[in-house]
Structure 1
Amino acid sequence: MGTVNRRAELLRSLKFTLFSASAGLIQIGAFALCNDVIHLPAWLGYLIALVLSVLWNFTLNRRYTFRSAASVPRAMALVALFYLVFTPCTTWLEHWLTDVKLWNDYLVTALNMVLNLVLEFLYDRFVVFRGTIDSRDAK
């Protein structure tokens, strides 16, 4: 990989991380609302907050990080497939660590958010937007 490609990938990783951080703020805010104001079970608050952050993150990263002209329905379907696996696993983890092991709700949500950041970047980069990265520039 050349210097230009490394630089582009580093910038892409940085953008993804920053947009994911903004999605993380949405997620933790929604989680706090569900957990501390509405008093939903931690796993349900996590699930609601995750859906909101995924929609935000997908929209920004498709347009600005991966600059993909790929079909939105196709890309969103691929992201949905990721979350068909990720969501039940992390919802179960949220429940098990908070309700069974009695870990702090926010610590467990933060752990799930880090897992989401790393796994979703790899999945988006190598599956969802593979072959269409920077295709918006070609128009």
Structure 2
Amino acid sequence: MISEKRKETLRVVKFVMFSISAGVIEILSFTLLNELTDWPYWPCYLIALILSVIWNFTLNRKFTFKSVANVPVAMAKILAFYCVFTPVTTILGNYLAESLHWNEYIVTGINMGLNISTEYLYDRFVVFRKTLDTNNLAQRQREKEDR
């Protein structure tokens, strides 16, 4: 039987790995938009963020939190998180990049660091709190451990 501490450590590691892959999607799409358009910071950041959120949610729901949570309900909770996170980081990021002339990539990196830490806590303790380890993957793992 896997201890709860080990299970949570594995959950954090998976979340970080999937978030890194979402970060790659975010930074690549941000770079393409930033370099190939003359748009200001905020639409480039916003589009890149949306793409990474969809990717990250899909993978983490299935493999990290192993949840059978109702997808529309879970996505609504994620939307609530991003209704706070996105305006704050978009406005602050735009101010830092456009008004203070900070490097757009440094600003995006700061936002990504804030995102990974706050979203893990929100996902773990709000979105998937009651449905952790309830999907088929978790069920098969329990059966394998019981043998």
Give TM-score, length-normalised by structure 1.
0.96
Give me the whole-angstrom Cα distance separating, in 2, the residues matched to 1:59 and 1:9. Answer: 19
- Cα distance in 1 for residues equivalent to 2:47 and 2:56: 14
Counterpart of 1:72 in structure 2: which amino acid?
V
Q: Residue 131 of structure 1: SS of its match in structure 2? A: helix
- Segments of 5+ residues of structure 1 without an aligned counterpart are none
Task: State how far apart, in whole Å, the 1-side matches of 2:105 and 2:14 are.
Answer: 25
Match of 1:28, SS state, is helix
1:49 is matched with which residue?
48
Q: Partner residue of 1:14? A: 13
Aligned residues: 137
Distance 2:48 2:54 in 1: 10
User: After the TM superposition, which of the residue ranges 35-44 and 77-86 deviates more from structure 2?
Assistant: 35-44
Q: Distance in 1 between matches of 2:40 and 2:29?
A: 13
2: CA distance between counterparts of 1:117 and 1:67? 18
Identity of aligned residues (%): 53
Give the distance between the partners of 1:34 and 1:47, measured in 2 at CA. Answer: 10
- 1:61 Cα deviation (Å)? 0.2
Whole-Å separation in 1 of the counterparts to 2:80 and 2:28: 25
In the alignment, which residue of structure 1 is the partner of 2:77? 78
SS for the counterpart of 1:103 is: coil
With normalisation by structure 2, the TM-score equals 0.91
Superposed CA offset, 1:57-84 (max 9, x none): 0000000000001100000000000000
Provide the rounded CA distance (Å) in 1 between the counterparts of 2:4 and 2:84: 31
2-structure distance, mates of 1:69, 1:20? 20
* Cα root mean square deviation, aligned: 1.1
- Structure 2: which 5+ runs fail to align? 141-147
Moved over 3 A (4+): none
Deviations 1:88-110 (A, max 9, x none): 00000111100111100000000
What is the deviation of 1:138?
3.9
